[in-house]
A and B are shown apart, each in its own frame.
Chain A
Amino acid sequence: MEKDLEKIRAHAKEAIRNAADLGFLEQIRVEYMGRKSALTAILRGLKDLPINARKRIGQEANHLAEEIERLLSERKRELGSVIRESILAKERLDVTMPGSRIERGHQHPVTKVLAEIEGIFGSMGFETVDGPEVETDFYNFEALNMPPGHPARDMWDTFWLKNKLLLRTHTSPVQVRYMEKHNPPIRIIVPGRVYRYEATDASHEIQFEQLEGLVVDTHISVANFKAVMQEFFSRFYGNHIEIQLRPSYFPFVEPGFEIFISCVICKGKGCSVCKQTGWLEIGGAGMVHPNVFKAVGYNPKQARGFAFGLGFSRMIMMKYKIPDVRLFNSGDLRFLKQF
């Protein structure tokens, strides 16, 4: 009987090893482990054996059954992975083919840079404020210390409407509108579209973007203004920026400045962008004129503040090396899709 078991073991091993596919393997399982198999017959015949032999043979037969079962499942796994492999091989991809893109639109460079700017000023506690683009003479000029007939009005070439309204020439009217409704302390930025009545060329546009800022409190100084500008530009350009203030005149500030930053290209050494000066003109600013505080109903003796207007379109042109300001409003997708 033991000999029979050995024979079954040898045959089964051989058959399992040679099984070429899963169907054949199943046949083998039925042949060696099925109800009609020799092994099953042996197990069934155990009860007729003497007690000694019954125990010994029984143990061996059970071991054999376990072994065959193990061999079968091993072979099954082997065959399975071979099959999977052949399927996978057929699914091979050419990984050098270009990816298929989900089409996304593009953000306008103006709003893209503006988001950055708003982020920086926002982190310094500046609220972003809007205002109308069609303005009255009062907000665009008069409240900004430029009564009718003031010669400084010539600094802003103005588009007038037939009903005496005008297209704002700067974002400064929003300062006035905001101060009329809020009391100090104030920290705002006002990004927005402004209009100028002038002939257009690569660096002049009738419609462009400006960024206004206003801080009002009881003790605000020129030193504070320099620091806020330095902080902003250093973060915006990602490295240390120096601020230079040159005297200038805007009726709504006193003293008034022209803001220069150390050249972001050459770091102040002198290059073609800064015309070898090491400095770039970036906007106008100053300490808010007491007459503006009066116009909005503040006590000019108690309020102090600074205001600035940055040539925002120019900053974007410098950032992306855009040669012509007119591209911003061109609507040309060949331009817009680059951002």
Chain B
Amino acid sequence: MKFSYNWLKELVPFKESPKQLAEFLTMRAFEIESMEKRRGDVALDIKLPSNRVADASGHLGMAREIAALKGIRITKRVSRIKENKKQKVSEFLKVKIENSDDCLRYTARIMTDITVRQSPKWLRERLDICGLQSINNIVDATNYVMLELGQPLHAFDLEKLNRKPEKIKTITVRRPRKGEQIETLDKKIYELSPDVSLITDGDTPLAIAGIKGGQASGITEHTHTIILESANFDPMRVRAASQLLRLKTDASYRFEHGLDPNETVAAVDRLATLIQKLSEGKIVSGIIDVYPKKVFAQKIIFSVSDANRLLGIELDPAFYQKALTRTGCTVVQHRVSNKDRLVVVPPTIRRDLAIPEDLIEEAGRILGYEQISPQLPEFATVPAPRNDKRYWEDRVRDCAIGSGFTESMLYAFTSERELAQFFIDPATAPELANPLSPETKYLVPRMLIKYVSSTVENLRNFSVVKIFGTGKNFTALSKSLDEHNALVLAYGSRDIAGKREFYELKGVLAGMFEQLGIDDYGYGDVLTTEEHHHAAKLFHPYRVAHINIGNERIGMIGEIHPAILDEMKSRGRVVAAEINFDLLWKHAQDEVEFRPISKYPAVIRDIAVVVPENTKTEVIQDIIERTAGELLIDADLFDYFQDEEMRRGDIKNLAFHLTFQSPDRTLTDTEIEKLIGKIIAALEMQGWEVRK
């Protein structure tokens, strides 16, 4: 909010240059966002916190703040209102408030014989430096007094009010009727809803209460008699109306922060006096003031020792007493005998001062926080408990990075187009009410797609892309939302076959499971009949598997469907794993138990088997393990082979290392040969050819 340096200086006698003043205010009160020199004055753009709009949005309030912080007094101003005793305000106007909650106070004065003309130069310059446009002397005066006192004001042309059905013209503050409209001063038409409050003449809307005046009752060069409005409206209603109508004004900004209703009379008097000076008008004697529920100052019991404890410094009661008095509070000792307790009554304009902590802040600012020396708290020396989820996340991260994958963080948003591209039903994605763009229309239900898109993007610059990350999967539920942590690994390569990538990624997962102490993991087919089938749609139909731990499905691994990648114009294939991290880490365990190393040598034999193309390695392994029994400690696939001829015959050659070992004796050749013979027989039973 813009303040004039010269104006402030008129109101309070400080010595600081604009730059010094800006620094002083920044350290003690408000941040100064910018300074701009203009025609012998400086505009200070002061960032007003929302709890200080009530008292400091006007120059006088800002001057009071400076005076309090510096311990000086504001300049006294004497002004007496000169009323025209021949006319009484009650002969001109009545005010009715239909809902006393909507309008907390309505104060008005009437002026006659005014002349509408251009404002004098000094006034135009003041408005200009504060960023307001000059209209005419009457409107400018309302704005000037608002800038001075922080109270929004409005002037209506009394002649334009309809008299009927009352004898005396009446201003009625009421809610809109169905279908009611108003044309504002800037000639825009607004449809009104019940959230808005209106100033009306009983019938026609004259203004949107607390926001903007209407065209119909506006001041023109022919205006002779005016109503000066100084009111106080319900902040919540003004805020709601302003948001609804998308109409923010200097008045609505102030009202929505809540103003002190006790300020309206002083403001309207100040305004009338100023207009009298600017346009030779006459002020009708008397004031209309509807103020159903008066706001009184509240006292706060303040403990000096509590304040000292909160600030962490020893200050005596006299300091607090003096500091709080400077902020405009009345301060008395609670009881003569008790120096620790003060009774503090802040002025009603300081709506931000409601509890002792508010007063402690005032004292702290007057003291200056730099006066408080750092002092380490006395903490118990207990180590922080471990966050298990984060601990396992770190382990997974180390493992992925060690396997050549780079950590990436991606946007949690997605578009309709991206979802469609990956065959994801938009109904499963939580939809935003206020997206910034089509790209932020939804939250992403599967982080996987962001990593796939990013992999495709990166394949334009790299021939191999390995990325991973943990992100959130957001799923729309009928009335709520599910949010869980997803771990995604994506491996893109310009390599044509894409086979190696799939198995490498499986290998990375194997290493990761080992790191997490998980050994009962496995992979399963995605069946077209099951409910998970649609989740697998974005994968290659013959290169996809469930990842299971025990009986629990924790994710999927697969190659992204080539059709999707084609549409994305990907330069290579992408294989990805998508794991529910919340399920994964619950299976993780740190404990490792030592197994005695066998004293007896292990014997390794190789065996190769030729099987039909669609035979699963797992099945072969299973047969070998079941047939061999306990002495076989490992059956490890070490070679996969398929030549042109085998390809045509739809067969493949798989070779295994078989490791035999006994914990209590050295195995003999005959023993091994017997076992191998049994294994071969079992494999041949399946109709497979075994090569030794």
Residues of A in contact with B (beta carbons under 8 Å apart):
103-108, 110-111, 115, 118, 121-122, 124-130, 132-134, 149, 151-152, 154-155, 159-163, 165, 167, 185, 187, 193, 195, 197-199, 206-207, 215, 217, 219-224, 226-228, 230-231, 243-249, 251, 254-258, 287, 289-290, 304, 328-329, 331-334, 336-337
Residues A328 and B409 in contact, CB atoms below 8 Å apart: yes
Cβ contacts B358-378/A at 8 Å (1 or 0 each): 101100110001101111110
B407 close to chain A: CB less than 8 A: yes
B513 close to chain A: CB less than 8 A: no
Cβ contacts B372-411/A at 8 Å (1 or 0 each): 1111110111111101011000100100111111111111
Residues A249 and B52 in contact, CB atoms below 8 Å apart: yes
Q: A215-B377, A247-B29, A336-B467 are in contact. List 15 more A-B contacts (CB 8 A).
A: A103-B404, A104-B401, A105-B404, A106-B401, A122-B384, A130-B389, A134-B430, A134-B443, A161-B430, A162-B432, A222-B372, A247-B30, A254-B355, A328-B409, A333-B467
Which 7 pairs from chain A and chain B are nearest by CB? A223-B312, A221-B312, A249-B49, A255-B361, A331-B454, A227-B374, A105-B401
Complex Cα distance A286/B434, Å?
31
B309, B357, B430 — which one has the most chain A CB atoms within 10 A of its CB? B357
Decide yes or no: A223 and B373 within 8 Å by CB, A155-B50, A249-B49, A255-B360 being known contacts.
Answer: yes
A331: which B residues are within 8 A, CB to CB?
Answer: 408-410, 450-451, 454, 457-458, 467
Output the least CB separation between B432 and chain A (Å): 6
Q: Which of B288-296, B478-486, B545-553, B664-672 interfaces with chain A?
A: B478-486
Residues A227 and B376 in contact, CB atoms below 8 Å apart: yes
Output the least CB separation between A268 and chain B (Å): 13
Residues A151 and B404 in contact, CB atoms below 8 Å apart: no
Complex Cα distance A75/B404, Å?
53
Complex Cα distance A128/B380, Å?
17
Complex Cα distance A329/B52, Å?
37
Output the least CB separation between A270 and chain B (Å): 14
B432: which A residues are within 8 A, CB to CB?
Answer: 159-162
B341 close to chain A: CB less than 8 A: no
Output the least CB separation between B298 and chain A (Å): 16
Can you name 9 A-B residue pairings with CB atoms under 8 Å? A111-B407, A124-B379, A128-B390, A130-B389, A162-B430, A207-B411, A224-B375, A226-B373, A254-B358
Residues B408 and A152 in contact, CB atoms below 8 Å apart: no
Query: Which of A124, A163, A245 makes the CB contact (< 8 A) with B430?
Result: A163
> What's the tally of chain B residues with a CB closer than 8 Å to chain A?
92
Decide yes or no: A108 and B409 within 8 Å by CB, A163-B480, A197-B434 being known contacts.
Answer: yes
A257: which B residues are within 8 A, CB to CB?
Answer: 369
Using CB atoms, name the residue of chain A closest to B464: A103
Residues B310 and A304 in contact, CB atoms below 8 Å apart: yes
Complex Cα distance A155/B47, Å?
12
Output the least CB separation between A317 and chain B (Å): 14
B381: which A residues are within 8 A, CB to CB?
Answer: 125
B168: which A residues are within 8 A, CB to CB?
Answer: none
Residues B50 and A258 in contact, CB atoms below 8 Å apart: no
Output the least CB separation between A219 and chain B (Å): 6
Residues A329 and B410 in contact, CB atoms below 8 Å apart: yes
Output the least CB separation between A285 and chain B (Å): 11
Output the least CB separation between A139 and chain B (Å): 13
Query: Which of A105, A122, A228 makes the CB contact (< 8 A) with B376?
Result: A228
Residues B50 and A110 in contact, CB atoms below 8 Å apart: no
Q: Is the interface of A mostly helix, strand, loop or mixed?
A: mixed
Complex Cα distance A28/B313, Å?
99
A124: which B residues are within 8 A, CB to CB?
Answer: 379
Residues of B in contact with A (beta carbons under 8 Å apart):
26-31, 49-53, 235-236, 239-240, 256-258, 309-313, 355, 357-358, 360-361, 364-365, 369-370, 372-377, 379-385, 387, 389-390, 394, 397, 400-413, 430-436, 440, 443, 450-451, 454, 457-458, 461-462, 465-469, 472, 474, 476, 479-481, 483
Residues B406 and A246 in contact, CB atoms below 8 Å apart: no
Complex Cα distance A254/B382, Å?
29
Complex Cα distance A258/B361, Å?
13
Decide yes or no: A287 and B474 within 8 Å by CB, A133-B412, A163-B481 being known contacts.
Answer: no
Output the least CB separation between A60 and chain B (Å): 52
Query: Which of A107, A134, A162 makes the CB contact (< 8 A) with B474?
Result: A134
A220: which B residues are within 8 A, CB to CB?
Answer: 377
Complex Cα distance A223/B402, Å?
44
Residues B376 and A224 in contact, CB atoms below 8 Å apart: yes
Output the least CB separation between B505 and chain A (Å): 13
Residues B412 and A151 in contact, CB atoms below 8 Å apart: no
Residues A105 and B481 in contact, CB atoms below 8 Å apart: no
A126: which B residues are within 8 A, CB to CB?
Answer: 384
Output the least CB separation between A104 and chain B (Å): 6
Complex Cα distance A134/B472, Å?
10
Complex Cα distance A327/B288, Å?
61
A224: which B residues are within 8 A, CB to CB?
Answer: 312, 375-377
Complex Cα distance A187/B377, Å?
11
Residues A217 and B377 in contact, CB atoms below 8 Å apart: yes
B28: which A residues are within 8 A, CB to CB?
Answer: 247
A207: which B residues are within 8 A, CB to CB?
Answer: 411-413
Complex Cα distance A52/B161, Å?
160
Residues A255 and B407 in contact, CB atoms below 8 Å apart: no
Using CB atoms, name the residue of chain A closest to B365: A247
Using CB atoms, name the residue of chain B closest to A333: B458
A161: which B residues are within 8 A, CB to CB?
Answer: 430-433, 443, 481
Output the least CB separation between B481 and chain A (Å): 5
Output the least CB separation between A324 and chain B (Å): 15
Output the least CB separation between B307 and chain A (Å): 10
Output the least CB separation between A125 and chain B (Å): 5
Residues B384 and A128 in contact, CB atoms below 8 Å apart: yes
A199: which B residues are within 8 A, CB to CB?
Answer: 436
Using CB atoms, name the residue of chain A closest to B27: A246
A336: which B residues are within 8 A, CB to CB?
Answer: 406-408, 467
Complex Cα distance A243/B466, Å?
42
Output the least CB separation between A254 and chain B (Å): 4
Output the least CB separation between B555 and chain A (Å): 20
Residues A105 and B407 in contact, CB atoms below 8 Å apart: yes
Residues A149 and B462 in contact, CB atoms below 8 Å apart: no
Residues A333 and B465 in contact, CB atoms below 8 Å apart: yes
Query: Which of B374, B389, B469, B479 makes the CB contact (< 8 A) with A223?
Result: B374
Complex Cα distance A106/B462, Å?
15
Using CB atoms, name the residue of chain A closest to B405: A105
Using CB atoms, name the residue of chain A closest to B404: A103
Output the least CB separation between A277 and chain B (Å): 9
Using CB atoms, name the residue of chain B closest to A189: B384
B31: which A residues are within 8 A, CB to CB?
Answer: 246, 248, 258
Residues B407 and A125 in contact, CB atoms below 8 Å apart: no
Query: Which of B53, B258, B312, B481 makes the CB contact (< 8 A) with A134?
Result: B481
Complex Cα distance A154/B355, Å?
23
Residues A127 and B454 in contact, CB atoms below 8 Å apart: no
Output the least CB separation between A109 and chain B (Å): 9
Using CB atoms, name the residue of chain A closest to B482: A134
